[in-house]
Chains A and B, each alone.
Chain A
Amino acid sequence: TQLLEQSPQFLSIQEGENLTVYCNSSSVFSSLQWYRQEPGEGPVLLVTVVTGGEVKKLKRLTFQFGDARKDSSLHITAAQTGDTGLYLCAPRGGSTLGRLYFGRGTQLTVWP
């Protein structure tokens, strides 16, 4: 099991602010996925990053995969209350096979 560290563990901000959350490991990943989990629901896949240095944008969300494929970040511009949720990262490929091994996540709360 890869050791994944997500930071910060909790983040509470006002609507309109920008934020960045991180996912770090000492292991190299074939690819990495980001999920968002809203209260009372299961995780939903946001994006998969595959290439070292890759940047993917999903509206106000920008995902970056580290050059060495050991870390990733998620930046949200002008946060909205609808962004509230638990953000989880999970590596794919290699020894993980079909299983998802999640980090502990960042709990984001966006206040109006």
Chain B
Amino acid sequence: DSGVTQTPKHLITATGQRVTLRCSPRSGDLSVYWYQQSLDQGLQFLIQYYNGEERAKGNILERFSAQQFPDLHSELNLSSLELGDSALYFCASSVVSGMDTQYFGPGTRLTVL
């Protein structure tokens, strides 16, 4: 158990819908990272938040957004969903940033029908 929790574990929805994925980092970790894992793209970095502020952006679509709240949990919002958004979404956390070890949650499997 990494100490990072993600909910829900599975999510099935339809095209055009909007969903919210939730992540609680390890106790004491200030940075949260979101990754997307799909069969065709592999595991890709989406976005990082540090202590409530956006720190870095990767291959995140404009239809996707994230935020980190004062209690340090984070949410990833996916809107206008398309079939190709079906993937595993992982959250990771680290103490600060930079070269700190990232601890991954168990992921949320999103299926868009």
Chains A and B are bound partners: yes
Binary B-proximity of A88-112 (CB < 8 A = 1, otherwise 0): 1000110001111111110000000
Q: Which of B31, B99, B100, B107 has the most CB of A within 10 A?
A: B99
Interface-side segment among B11-19, B40-48, B61-69, B73-81: B40-48
Q: A interface, how many residues as a size bin?
A: 10 to 19
B residues in contact with A104, CB < 8 Å: 42
The docked-state distance in angstroms from the alpha carbon of A44 to that of B35 is 14
| Interface flags, B83-112, vs A, CB<8A=1, else 0 | 000000010101001111110111100000
In the complex, whether A43 has a CB less than 8 A from a CB of chain B is yes
B113 on the A face (CB < 8 A): no
Interface membership of B20, Cβ < 8 A = no
Contact with B along A26-62 (1 / 0, CB 8 A): 0000010000000011111100000000000000000
- Please count how many residues in chain B sit with their CB below 8 Å of the partner chain's CB atoms: 26
Cβ-defined contact, A92 with B48, below 8 A: no
Q: Is the beta-carbon distance between B43 and A88 smaller than 8 angstroms?
A: yes
| In contact, A42 and B42 (Cβ under 8 angstroms) | no
Q: Name the residue on A nearest B105 (C-beta).
A: A42
Q: Which residues of A contact B104 (CB under 8 A)?
A: 41-44
Tell me the smallest distance from the CB of B68 to a CB of chain A, in Å: 14
Contacts known (A99-B45, A100-B35); A45 close to B56, Cβ less than 8 A: no
User: Is B8 engaged at the interface, CB distance under 8 Å to the other chain?
Assistant: no
Which residues of A does B touch, CB under 8 Å? 31, 40-45, 88, 92-93, 97-105
B residues sitting closer than 8 Å to A (CB atoms) are 2, 4, 31, 33, 35, 42-45, 48, 55-56, 58, 90, 92, 94, 97-102, 104-107
Q: 10 tightest CB-CB pairs across the interface, nearest first?
A: A42-B104, A98-B97, A102-B43, A104-B42, A99-B45, A42-B90, A43-B104, A98-B98, A42-B105, A42-B107
Can you list 10 A-B contacts with CB-CB less than 8 angstroms, sorted by A residue number? Answer: A31-B99, A41-B107, A43-B90, A88-B43, A98-B33, A98-B55, A98-B94, A99-B56, A104-B42, A105-B42
